[in-house]
Amino acid sequence: MLVLWIGALVPLICITYWVYHWRNPRCNGKLPPGSMGFPLLGETLQFFSRNTTNDIAPFLKERMKRYGPVFKTSIVGQPVIVLTDPDLNHFVFLQEGQLFQSWYPDTFTKILGRQNVGSLHGFMFKYLKSMVLSLFGPENIKKMLPEVERTACRRLQRWSIQETVELKEATAAMIFDLTAKKLISYDQDNASQNLRENFVAFIKGLLSFPLDIPGTAYHKCLQGRKNAMKMLKNLLNERRAMPGKSRSDFFDFVLEELQKEGTILTEEIALDLMFLLLFASFETTSMALTLAVKFLSDDPSVLKKLREEHETILRNRENTGSGLTWKEYKSMTYTFQFINETVRLANIAPVIFRKALREIHFKGYTIPAGWAIMVCPSAVHLNPAKYKYPLTFNPSRWEGVEINGATKNFMAFGGGMRFCVGADFAKVQMAVFLHCLVTKYRWEPIKGGNILRTPGLQLPDGFHIRLMEKTRME
């Protein structure tokens, strides 16, 4: 009987000891306050809980109130230090490659690819970044301006003869088609398979609970990635089979790099890069554009001011039939304020992950080496100490504020050396689309527009509008 009792007691003691150390991790200093949650599961369920407001997510808000701007937790089995402090966030971005490096949970890396640019470091990251800038750098964006305008005008005209338009889906298709053409000369009208459909499946589960079981959003996400990668690989092989036929797109540039003697680029890295570029280029921008139109619909005074700026551009032209020039684009002062306010309030990228390369001491706390860091842009963008009435949409708050990158209080496009290389291209697409929209059309919301954060931003009912061409008297 005693042996059985001891046999039962020993495992219980071991489990108790393990649970205690899980909930009370040690370090050479003082860990931030917080809870590690249940063993292995941590606070994963709370992190992925649904939220239907533009405010800071309850997961963050409750813990900020209880523990302060820096706290510890555990998500999908990984110990995490959560940062909502602007100074500490800025410090993390500035110390990229020295004290911190880009990192994603294994479940997220599985989705984006083991060799995605966000998971690469040092020389390889800089090499890939320079490749991307060859397409999205300032000089190339200038050259693309007329095509961006033609695309926006054509799509808007097409939508104006439809009874209703679901704007998120429509703008996503518009941006994807333009980007896919520039990257891989992909033409949906002449393609045997629909590449974007696979990205749609991918996006729906991107920031869902990581349960890989048939029927779950996460499983569909993985399947979408698998199918999209298969199509990209087939396109790459087709291009290799016709070496003399140049299309002057990004795929040609990638093939040249792959064929160079001693190249560090591999096919796996190239395909992961192409996948990430296609995803990042259209999903975030289409969401921002949809919210921009929703904000305009909700605030006639902002719409009036934006429309006045763009109609002034048209009136000041010598040739009324000419398209947008780069000088005109750069003159859109209020438009850039409007875009800043849209992405500030949208918080499309809810969190940004890093990992501590060594033990770090900051503001009285210790961050152990190997722990994950979660930077939370929304906690900064919605901080009433930094933005008066932070939940109010007010583009005029940006008057006189010049932003060419990330700041301590604005990180909608990331920060540091990993500041989004496509930020300028996204702004061009938004500004040009808005120019075409407000000068030539009026619209009315029909249904949808409700947001859902899980923590990724979604529009579960879409945003349906009726688009109509303006009359000469309007």
Pick from 460, 458, 461: which is nearest to 447 by CA? 461
Q: Which amino acid is at 374?
A: M
420 carries a ligand binding annotation: yes
Q: Which amino acid is at 144?
A: M
Sorted by sequence, the CB contacts under 8 Å of residue 409 that are 6+ apart come out as 86, 380, 381, 383, 386, 387
Distance in angstroms (rounded) separating the CA atoms of residues 344 and 89:
16
CB 37 within 8 A of CB 74: yes
List, in sequence order, every residue forming a beta bridge with 463; answer none if it has no partner.
Answer: 448
Structure tokens at 43: 């606070």
The DSSP bridge pattern shows strands 463-469 and 165-166 to be antiparallel
Distance in angstroms (rounded) separating the CA atoms of residues 28 and 465:
57
Helix ranges restricted to H, 25-57: 44-47
The DSSP bridge pattern shows strands 352-356 and 365-367 to be unpaired
Number of H helices, E strands in the chain: 17, 12
CB 107 within 8 A of CB 205: no
Pick from 224, 228, 457, 207: which is nearest to 353 by CA? 207
250-259 vs 167-184: helix axis angle to the nearest 10? 40
List, in sequence order, every residue forming a beta bridge with 108; answer none if it has no partner.
Answer: none
Distances (CA, A) of 188 to 75, 197, 275, 281: 39, 11, 16, 17
Q: What is the DSSP letter of 64?
A: H
Pick from 454, 465, 463, 375: which is nearest to 203 by CA? 454
Please give the annotated binding residues, written as ranges. Answer: 420
Binding residues for heme: 420
